[in-house]
Structures are given as C-alpha cells and as structure tokens.
Structure 1
Amino acid sequence: MDQLSIALTVIGAGLLLSASPGPSMAYVLSRSVQFGSSGGLASSLGLAVGGMIHALFAALGLSLVAMQFPWLLQLIKYVGAAYLAYLAYDSLRAAFAKLDNSASTDNPISDADAIVQTREEFSRQTFWRLFSNGVLIELSNPKTIIFFLSFMPQFVSQHSTIGMFLLSSLIPITAIPADLLAIFAGGVIANRVRSHYWLVRGVNIAVALVLAGIALMVLFLD
C-alpha cells in the first residue's frame, strides 16, 4: 500500500471514529451548552492535544507496550472514569448551589442576574481548566485507546518514528469537523437558555447527568 493510500485509509477511519457517538463528542457538546462556544472550543482543543499525545505514544511504540500490560489500560480507564464522575459532581453541586442562593433571598433572580452569574461561572472555569479537562478525558477515552491499539500498529513497520507520528496525527485532525458541529450546536443552545435562570440551572443538572453517563461509558466500554 502506497503512502497516499495509507493516509487516506487513516483519514477515513479517523472520520468514522469521530462521527460515531462517544465520550469526546458528548463532552464537547455538554461543555458548549454549559459555557457557550468558548467553553466548547477550550474543551475541543484539550481533546485535540490528548489525541496528539496518543499519536506520540503510537509513534514511539508505547501503544504496543501497553498491550503487554492490560492492567495499565484498566488503571487509565478507572482514573478517567473517576475524574469524569468528579466533574459531574461539580456541575451538580453548582446547580444546587444556585438553588440554595435563590432560596435564601426574598426577591426572585432576574434574567439579567442569570446572565451575569453564567458569565462569572465561565470565568471561574478558566480556559486552561477546561483545556486540561479535555486532555485528561481524551487520554482516558477507551474508544481512542482501542483505535490506536488495534488500527495504527499495522503501519508501524512502514514508517519512521516521525512518519508514524505525522500519520497518527491525522486522527485528532479528523475530529475537527465533529467538534465544530458540537460547539456550534451547544453554543446555540447556550445562547437560548442563558437569559433564563431556571434553564441555566437545568443545563447544569443535565450536564452533570451527561458527564456521569460518559464516566459509565468510559468504565464499561471495552
């Protein structure tokens, strides 16, 4: 198989991987809904860097080493699921904190107050925090791990380390269209709910449920 055919095969496989529902897409969508397009973009960039780290592992042959130690993959899976569960708890706590705050005042919170609180929430969840969350989630994403372990090793013998890294780097690049679609959809939803406090609260709860679902997906997906 010539180099162009190999590249096209990897691109096609990467597009199928990114188009299929999984933890990464659900995470970008949920963060875009919760924090708007900026939050979704930060999360997507983190996922991309996590994918590039997977590509580096594949180029260095570390993916093949990992296959010899199944317990290591299980450990990565458990750590990733636990981290996602923590993020779900954090979102749920934020939602109920808003409930407590609104219950402690005699005056109902206006739509303007809801907008301010939402923007402050995003300022606390800084770009770098969302970015680092995305990196960790992609590193523990079993769908990505399985893909690199099962699909990419067949090309190792045909490429140098740099060539293998460049080839593997096509995988996170092919995820860009799906991420942009999730960011756009989430941003539209965020703009619609941001002016209504009760919808913002509902989004926080929904995101907590989505993150908990992703944690279960990571934990039980083989």
Structure 2
Amino acid sequence: MSGFVPVFDIGDTLVPSRKFASHVIEDELRQRNHKVVHDFDPDKFMMYDPSQIEQYLEKYDIDGDPRELAHGCRKRYLEAFEDLMMENGVFDLFAKCNREFGTVGIISDNSVEAKNLMKKLLDEHEVDYDTIVVSEEVGVEKPSPEIFKAFTEKRERPPGEFVYIGNDAEVDSGALDAGMKYIWVTQFDTVNSSFEGPEIDELEFEKLREVISNLE
C-alpha cells in the first residue's frame, strides 16, 4: 500500500448527479403534462423531498402533487444510480484504489437511505469499502470537522492518513480542518466553488494516483 487512503464524497464527485436530477424532475413533469421550467436547482429543491418539490411547483405556478412527483423522481434516480456508477467507472476506480492505497471510505451530506443504497451496490459489485458516514446519521454536515472526525474515529486511524476527494470545495475542504488531505474534483458540477490546492479534472485512477503521490 502507498500514499493516503482515498475517502470519497458521493454525488457529483463520482457521477453527473445534479445534471441527472434536473433531467429527472423535468421529465417527470413532462410525463404528467405539467409546465417544465428549465432551471431546477437540486440544492434548493431536492427531488426526493416533497416539501421542497412543493416549493418548486408553487414558485413556478405549476399544478401537480408534490408527493407523487417526489416519489416518481426518487424511484427513477435510485434505479439509475447504479448505471451512472457503472458508466463512469466508479466500481473499477474503487477496486483499484483498494489495491493501491487501502480500503476506500465515503463521507457524504446525505441520507441513511443513500448510505444503504451505496452499501448494497458496492456489495453486489464485490467492491470492498470500510466505513460510510452520512450527515443524517451523525447530525452535522460538511464543512464541520465533526463529520470527518466521525469517519476517522470509526476507522480508528489518524486523519492524516486519509485524503478526502470531493467536488464542492466550499464544504469539502472542511476535511483539512479535521486533519485530512483534500483533492478537489472538477469533472462534473463544482457548485461554483473554487480551491487553491490539489485538484483533478477527471476521476480516473492513473490521474488520481499521480495527484495523491504529490501530496505532502
């Protein structure tokens, strides 16, 4: 094993999550013969939350049942997530990282349901992982150092042995305050964030290995 052990965010760190989320809700509206507004923001109107779907419908004066729409969007997103992971080579990336650096982990501002889905997919694809921490479970979100500390405490290893890999530098760089390294991923949506430090424009193993090898 060499270098630092990679710990990944989910979402747009790994797959074009926000773009797909926007496509899903627009398509669900279209199928229900509702007006489609092309500026759906997953950060403001999370497609799996009926109360926020309701805000979206009210904002643009769109008729529709927010609970029905939320259920349809959530079902489609979860069904498609495995395909997105496969298309973007995530399972293969994790497996290579496991062999090169040690068993990968995950820290995400996300739900327990999303955690269980990720565990299920990794198990089905026979990809090892060690510890998945989500904000719903620990009660804090990034950039709080506490969510990163919750991870390292479960791993029972010092934070300086890990590198966090995420797309939203504004919150993901909170890993630095917890004593971890951080690499900014710019392949998909970066939520208009910026970072003066190690970055990677494509989450491909050889590129990632090179960036990790240059960390101090």
- Larger relative contact order (Cα-Cα within 8 Å, sequence gap ≥ 6): 1
Larger radius of gyration: 1
Q: Kindly indicate which of the two structures has a greater share of residues assigned to strand.
A: 2
Name the TM-score, length of structure 1 as normaliser. 0.30
Q: Kindly indicate which of the two structures has a greater share of residues assigned to helix.
A: 1
